[in-house]
């Protein structure tokens, strides 16, 4: 594959295990012996000229801990993006747009690497804020939340958004809703509504705009749980307006039944992960999947659930290729997709 250096040599030593038949390890009594072939841990061979694809390949050869997971995940995404029969989802929860991934995602859509997006309503809102001229900012050092509130700033971790940018967003959304033909105001699925919105944008860096231009549907099952949903509600108090969420399931269902294979890159968990995986149940689950998450499994949340759990729910094929990578998606996702694209 392109972007690779020469294959690293791998030792496959034969490990001889001789468990004692007694409790004492020093027992001289008869012991049983069997042979196990194992792979040794390789070490990353550093070279200043290495590409991202090179280092992802070496991480796979390391084979253990986070490096091994990341290397295997890159292999899976490489196959996913390179398979013309694979319909590829990108699902995301959490502040992926405020966290710096907006251009990465819009590039993937523009270049045809992604076939559908499943996202929280918040990421759509933050994409639109920038499309309407707003921005996301770094929280000034030493500022308290009380000071940010007084200054008209809302905080997301170490990011903040200005109230005035949300006010501009509100104005633009209400203007869009006013121009939406009355015949469409009660007939659109959320994905169709988002596409209609994308048609009105001029920002070529916008995810929503690129999705419209490239006919990539954006599904947002939790759209009402966002400022966009709130403004649709306020608009509906004076004018008849509603979205058909069931229609989105019909749209997605028809897509999935026509595809030969399905793959998903899932950033975070929760509703978007469940919606993505659940849409493939009628086909026996995803054929390829990678999840990047910081959530833990002990609480039983979907965000922390390893992908192998999806096999029992028929959301992951029994013979599927899948990997869960533990880490911050704003760090790992750009490396993952760049490493995979470098190999195409």
Active site (catalytic) residues: 315
Burial (0-12, 13-18, 19+ Cβ within 10 Å), 312 = exposed
Which DSSP state fits 104?
A: H
Question: Are 55 and 7 in contact, with CB atoms under 8 Å apart?
Answer: no
- Is the distance from CB of 45 to CB of 26 less than 8 angstroms? no
Q: In whole angstroms, how large is the CA radius of gyration of the chain?
A: 24
Instruction: Please give the backbone phi and psi of residue 154, each rounded to the nearest 5 degrees, phi first.
Output: -105, 135
Q: Please say whether the beta carbons of 318 and 88 come within 8 A.
A: no
Q: Is 30 helix (H, G, I), strand (E, B) or coil?
A: coil
Could you tell me where the beta strands, DSSP code E, fall in 97-151?
116-119, 137-138
100: alpha, beta or left, given left = phi > 0 and alpha = psi -120 to 50? left
* CA nearest to 331, candidates 75, 40, 52: 52
Dig out the tokens for 234 from the structure. 């306020």
- CA dist 218 and 201 (Å) reads 15
Q: Using alpha carbons, list the distances in angstroms from residue 16 to 19, 34, 36, 63, 101.
A: 10, 6, 7, 21, 48
């Amino acid at each position: 594959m392109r972007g690779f250096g020469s294959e690293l040599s791998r030792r496959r030593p034969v490990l001889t295990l001789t468990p004692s038949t007694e409790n004492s390890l020093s027992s001289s009594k008869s012991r049983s012996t069997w042979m196990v072939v194992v792979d040794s841990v390789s070490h990353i061979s550093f070279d200043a000229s290495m590409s991202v694809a090179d280092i992802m390949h070496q991480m796979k050869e390391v084979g253990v801990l986070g490096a091994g997971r990341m290397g295997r995940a890159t292999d899976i995404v490489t196959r996913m993006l390179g398979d013309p029969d694979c319909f590829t989802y990108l699902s995301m929860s959490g502040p992926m747009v405020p966290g710096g991934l907006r251009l990465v995602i819009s590039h993937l859509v523009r270049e045809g690497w992604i076939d559908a997006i499943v996202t929280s309503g918040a990421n759509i809102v933050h994409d639109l804020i920038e499309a309407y001229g707003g921005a996301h900012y770094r929280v000034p050092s030493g500022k308290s939340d009380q000071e940010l509130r007084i200054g008209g700033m809302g905080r997301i971790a170490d990011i903040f958004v200005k109230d005035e940018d949300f006010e501009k967003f509100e104005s633009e959304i209400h203007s869009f809703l006013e121009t939406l033909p009355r015949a469409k105001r009660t007939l659109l699925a959320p994905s169709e509504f988002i596409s209609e919105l994308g048609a009105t944008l001029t920002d070529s860096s916008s995810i929503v705009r690129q999705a419209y231009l490239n006919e990539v549907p954006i599904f947002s099952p939790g759209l009402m749980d966002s400022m966009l949903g709130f403004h649709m509600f306020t608009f509906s108090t004076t004018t008849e307006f509603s979205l058909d969420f069931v229609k989105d399931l019909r749209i997605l269902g028809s897509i999935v039944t026509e595809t030969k294979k399905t793959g998903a890159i899932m950033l975070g968990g929760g509703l978007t992960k469940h919606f993505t995986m659940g849409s493939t149940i009628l086909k026996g689950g995803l054929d390829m999947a990678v999840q990047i998450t910081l959530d833990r499994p002990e609480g039983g949340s979907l965000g922390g659930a390893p992908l192998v759990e999806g096999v029992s729910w028929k959301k992951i094929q029994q013979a599927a290729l899948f990997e869960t990578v533990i880490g911050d998606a704003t760090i790992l996702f750009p490396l993952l997709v760049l490493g995979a694209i470098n190999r195409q």
